[in-house]
Structure 1
Amino acid sequence: MRPLFSSLLRVCSLSGRRFITLLFALASSGPLQAAVVEVAALGSDGKPLPETVVYLESAEAKAAAKPTGVMEMQQIERRFVPGVLVVVRGTEVRFPNRDRVRHHVYSLSPTKTFELKLYAGTPANPVLFDKPGVAVLGCNIHDNMVGWVVVVETPHHGVAPASGVVKLPDVPPGRYRLRAWHAGLPAGTPATDTAFEVPVNGARTQVKLPLVASAQ
């Protein structure tokens, strides 16, 4: 027992047992310990599906979601890097051009429509992504360039690496909707949606998408 807590008990004991019991209850009712959630993203062939976006939604998660600092999606060797970027709604994104050729970045998606006309270097103003969903990006000069910005309303999100396993740290125990999305899905396909409960000691699960991992 910590010294400060012991002192409080000695002072308050004059008021009777009921108050001491209440003090114990208040002292022990701290916030729930955050857990780690591991999600294995797999294709229909059972193989890891890299670049799958995984996130947990709930009313509490939405309230806790805050825009991060300005994010970046670069253009390197005529590719968007990273190819898939996940941001919390309200986050601004810069699109620096690291190539020696100029690019013309745009999106016609309902989630975010914008255009950065032919430029080199980094445009002065970042782009604000203020609506949840998926924005598909392209370059008006190089048709083979494509990227995706996924806008979510939760701090619990990640993109699967080569192993296909996404680790979501600091997840408060509770009930969530487990969502998963991949760029290989047909255009307009929403993220999968599954009820999911996170216990105090964390959880491991997997999601399967109707894609052949080896073909992606």
Structure 2
Amino acid sequence: MRVLFALLAVLAFCSPAIAGDLTVSVRDAAGRPVQDAVVTVHPAAGVPRGPIRFAWPLRMTQQDIQFQPYVLVVPVGGTVSFPNLDRVRHHVYSFSRGNRFELQLYGRDESRSHTFAAVGVAALGCNIHDQMLAYIKVVNTPWAAKTPASGDAILRAIPAGAATLRVWHPRLAGRGNEISRPLTIAVAPGRSTVSGDFSARAAVR
């Protein structure tokens, strides 16, 4: 009996946690899809320990006198590279609270990097080219995604149960440019639609 109990305990410990997938549809007040919204899910039970890794590269390129991409999602503690592919020099900076940094003037085919240690937003600018603007959203959950042109982001294998859904965008009206709502993750694939006012002025540098 003791052997059987021990075996059952080991099997229970090794079984994967019950999880579900969630599609988040982000729409503006007129029902149009919103691109570049950052969607995150924070399970009430917490997130796994250890470093968070995403499938996309942690890279903010400077090309055609623009930052690419416009919005980049980065895990807290992640190091982002800033390659310059332009023929002119750039001077990258952020004055955002908690994520202030500066990469002084550097030229074509050179790269610099910065590690983001604080959850929040870094609004990026260039001291040489005022039209350059982009955002790095630093998150502390592995369940994060950015909406494409369709406005739909898919988050997979979220632990079932209570959670908090957050949607951030630089032009989303509201405190911190973010909407937060409770939800329950089910085993069956779920869907949540978030609508908001995206006419606010973009967060400043």
TM-score range, shorter chain: 0.7 to 0.9
Corresponding residue for 1:52? 37
Residue 158 in structure 1 maps to residue 145 in structure 2: yes
Find the counterpart in structure 1 of residue 83 from structure 2: 96
Structure 1 residues 27 and 204, CA gap change in structure 2 (3 angstroms): same
Whichever structure has more helix as a proportion of its residues is 1
What is the CA–CA distance in structure 2 between the aligned matches of 1:57 and 1:63, rounded to whole Å?
11
Distance 1:127 1:25, change over 3 A: closer
Where do residues 100-139 of structure 1 align in structure 2 (5 Å cutoff)?
A: 100-120=87-107, 121-124=109-112, 126-139=113-126
Q: 1:103, 1:139 within 8 Å by CA — same for their partners in 2?
A: yes
Matches within 5 A, 1:5-44: 15=1, 20=4, 23=7, 27=11, 30-44=15-29
Supply the distance in 2 between the matched residues of 1:68 and 1:139 (Cα, whole angstroms): 28
Question: Where do 5+ consecutive residues of structure 1 fail to align?
Answer: 1-14
Question: What is aligned with 1:5?
Answer: none
Q: Which is greater in Rg?
A: 1
1:9 match:
none
Identity fraction in percent: 36
What CA distance in whole angstroms lies between the structure 2 residues aligned with 1:59 and 1:157? 15
Cα deviation per residue 1:113-144 (whole Å; 9 max; x = unaligned)? 111111113335x2010101111000111101
CA contact (8 A) 1:35 1:173 kept: yes
Counterpart of 1:123 in structure 2: which amino acid?
S
Runs of 4+ off more than 3 Å: 18-29, 58-65, 67-70
Contact in 2 for aligned 1:65/1:153 (Cα 8 Å): no
Per-residue deviation, 1:183: 1.2
In structure 2, the CA distance between the partners of 1:186 and 1:42, relative to structure 1 (3 Å rule), is closer
How does the TM-score come out when normalised to structure 1? 0.81
User: CA–CA distance in 2 between the matches of 1:109 and 1:33?
Assistant: 38
**Hey, what does 1:141 align to over in structure 2?**
128
In the comparison of the two structures, how many residue pairs are matched? Answer: 196
Gaps of 5+ in 2: 200-205
RMSD: 2.5
Shift of 1:182: 0.8
* Amino acid in structure 1 at the alignment position of 2:96: S
User: TM-score when scaled to structure 2?
Assistant: 0.85
Q: Which amino acid aligns with 1:57?
A: H
